[in-house]
């Protein structure tokens, strides 16, 4: 199985801050990497797919990059609605696997 | 707008079989793979497996012996059966649609909590 490791596991930040979350795969996954946002009690929602493509309707303050084994998700200017848990997910090989999540909290 | 809705019992006894159905509306079930993903309370996401509209399946190896998925295209539904459940199977179960290449989950159900307890 491909292991996905996110860092940090939790992060405190303020509205307007720029934040970056990293995701590392245990082997190369090319650009088969997706990012999801999950709010408490809700299903995850895709933000970006194929490492850097913004899903329709997602604000442009979200961006992502990477290929191979190292990936990043950046939120350029945090908004109140961005406080949530973020997951990376690889779709290169089955079993499909997720990172453990990064909980983004208000500072 | 595609919508997915899980249904099934919220409480299952240990050693019994968990059965859930996902109903797809607002779009065709053809042309996609249909997935089950679960999330134990307070924990992360675990992919269980998928079934194509054609009926072919791909399960997480550690669950293969206990998982069966099926699809009913006439009803736009797909189902999950997980046998011999234990407390470790207590989770919110989500159904989700996976796109073709580059393969991501674009639509999710709201999730249903299944508790394994006597």
A31 CB near a chain B CB, below 8 Å? yes
Sign of CA dihedral A67, A71, A77, A83: positive
Q: How many residues does chain A have?
A: 107
| A43/B58 CB distance under 8 A | no
The pLDDT value recorded for residue A107 is 84
CA distances from B11 to B20, B61, B67, B91 (A): 11, 25, 18, 11
State whether residue B61 sits within 8 Å of chain A by CB: yes
B62-79 pLDDT, tens digit per residue, is 999 999 999 999 999 999
* Burial status of residue A97 (CB atoms within 10 A of its CB: 0-12, 13-18, 19 or more): buried
Q: pLDDT at residue B91 above 90?
A: yes
Taking CB atoms and an 8 Å cut-off, how many pairs form between chains A and B?
54
Contacts of B109 in chain A (CB under 8 A): 43
Would you say residue B115 has pLDDT above 90? Answer: yes
- pLDDT values of chain A reduced to their tens digit, one per residue, 107 residues: 999 999 999 999 999 999 999 999 999 999 999 999 999 999 999 999 999 999 999 999 999 999 999 999 999 999 999 999 999 999 999 999 999 999 999 88
Name every chain A residue with its beta carbon within 8 A of the beta carbon of B45.
44, 87, 89, 98, 101
């Amino acid at each position: 199985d491909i292991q996905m490791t996110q860092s940090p596991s939790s992060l405190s930040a303020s509205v307007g801050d720029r934040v970056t979350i990293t995701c590392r795969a245990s082997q190369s996954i090319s650009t088969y990497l997706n990012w999801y946002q999950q709010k408490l009690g809700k299903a995850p929602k895709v933000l970006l797919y194929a490492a850097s493509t913004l899903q329709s309707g997602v604000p442009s303050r979200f961006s992502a990059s990477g290929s191979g084994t190292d990936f990043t998700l950046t939120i350029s200017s945090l908004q109140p609605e961005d406080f949530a848990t973020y997951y990376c997910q690889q779709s290169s090989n089955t079993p499909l696997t997720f990172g453990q999540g990064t909980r983004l909290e208000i500072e | 707008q595609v919508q997915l809705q899980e249904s099934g019992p919220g409480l299952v006894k240990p050693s019994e079989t968990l059965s859930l159905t996902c109903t797809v509306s607002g779009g065709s079930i053809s042309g996609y793979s249909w997935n089950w993903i679960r999330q134990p309370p307070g924990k992360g996401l675990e992919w269980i497996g998928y079934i194509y509209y054609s009926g072919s399946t791909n399960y997480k190896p550690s669950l293969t012996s206990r998982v069966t998925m099926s699809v009913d295209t006439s009803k736009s539904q797909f189902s999950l059966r997980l046998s011999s459940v234990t407390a470790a199977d207590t989770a919110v179960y989500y159904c989700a649609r996976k796109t073709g290449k580059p393969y991501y989950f674009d639509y999710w159900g709201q999730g249903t909590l299944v508790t394994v307890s006597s």
